[in-house]
């Protein structure tokens, strides 16, 4: 019985890790850099970005 619970916990842990580790990857050929951006980040347009800077929420 304990083996079933341990197996279930391992499966759930692996699933949770894989869902959190999804990223958008960008590669810059000039600098040979790979940048990984987590999917939890959202795109913000220039106007929203300036408003956030003016409000002091980001620097």
What's the rounded Cα separation, in Å, for the pair 57 and 11?
A: 39
Q: What is the DSSP letter of 43?
A: -
What distance lies between CA 33 and its chain's CA centroid?
18
Q: Tens of pLDDT along 26-42?
A: 888 888 888 888 777 87
The number of residues in the chain equals: 59
Residue ranges of the domains in the chain?
Answer: 24-59
Running along the chain, 59 residues long, what does each successive block of 10 average in pLDDT?
74 63 78 83 85 81
For the whole model, what pTM was predicted? 0.37
Identify the burial level of 1 via C-beta atoms within 10 angstroms of its C-beta, where 0-12 means exposed, 13-18 middle and 19 or more buried: exposed
Q: Helices (DSSP H) in the chain: which residue ranges?
A: 2-20, 46-55
């Amino acid at each position: 019985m304990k083996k079933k619970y341990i197996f279930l916990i391992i499966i759930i842990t692996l699933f949770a890790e894989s869902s959190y580790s999804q990223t958008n990857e960008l590669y810059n050929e000039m600098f040979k850099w790979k940048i990984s951006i987590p999917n939890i980040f959202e795109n913000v347009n220039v106007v929203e970005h300036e408003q956030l800077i003016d409000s002091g929420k980001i620097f």
